[in-house]
């Protein structure tokens, strides 16, 4: 995934998410890197119906979280629909997939809190 601009102290930034060029990570899997504060990588992911994350997503040191905006994402045997917030701590892994298609906004935490 590409790195987006950092939003620095005293700065405000707004973008139209659909205007951010997507990066194709695999068949039907697009990610857009969004501006965010230092230490947090912010992104939006779109999975087409039937798509699956190309590889196991491993979080060795820091966590990740996402919020489902539309559609459904499947993590293991659990399905998370619109309004769901899903968080992963350090030492976790997952491989999201979808039957319906999904858009989710996510955050990778690269600093300890």
**Is residue 50 a part of any domain in this protein?**
yes
User: Residue 35 belongs to what domain range?
Assistant: 17-109
Q: Is the pTM of this model over 0.85?
A: yes
Asked if 2 and 23 count as a contact pair (C-beta separation under 8 A), the reply is: yes
CA–CA separation, 44 and 9 (whole Å): 23
Beta strands 78-80; 29-34: pairing state? unpaired
The pLDDT score that the predictor gives to residue 38 is 83
Asked whether residue 64 is domain-assigned, the answer is yes
Query: What pLDDT, on a 0 to 100 scale, did the predictor assign at position 82?
Result: 98
Flag whether 25 is in a domain: yes
Two tokens at 17? 């998410």
Give 95-112 pLDDT, tens digit per residue: 999 999 999 999 988 754
Q: Name residues whose C-beta falls within 8 Å of residue 65's C-beta, 6 or more positions apart in sequence.
A: 85, 86, 87, 88, 106, 107, 109
Tell me the pLDDT band of 113, cut-offs 50, 70 and 90: very low
27 Cβ partners below 8 Å, 6+ apart?
Answer: 48, 51, 54
């Amino acid at each position: 995934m590409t790195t987006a601009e950092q939003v620095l102290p005293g700065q405000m930034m707004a973008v139209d998410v659909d205007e951010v060029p997507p990066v194709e990570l695999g068949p039907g899997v697009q990610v857009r890197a969004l501006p965010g504060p230092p230490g947090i990588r912010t992104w939006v992911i779109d999975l087409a119906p039937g798509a699956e994350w190309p590889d196991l997503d491993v979080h060795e040191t820091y966590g990740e979280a996402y919020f489902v905006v539309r559609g459904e994402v499947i993590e293991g045997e659990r399905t998370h629909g619109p309004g769901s917030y899903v968080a992963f701590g350090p030492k976790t892994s997952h491989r999201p997939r979808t039957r319906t298609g999904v858009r989710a906004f996510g955050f990778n935490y690269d600093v300890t809190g």
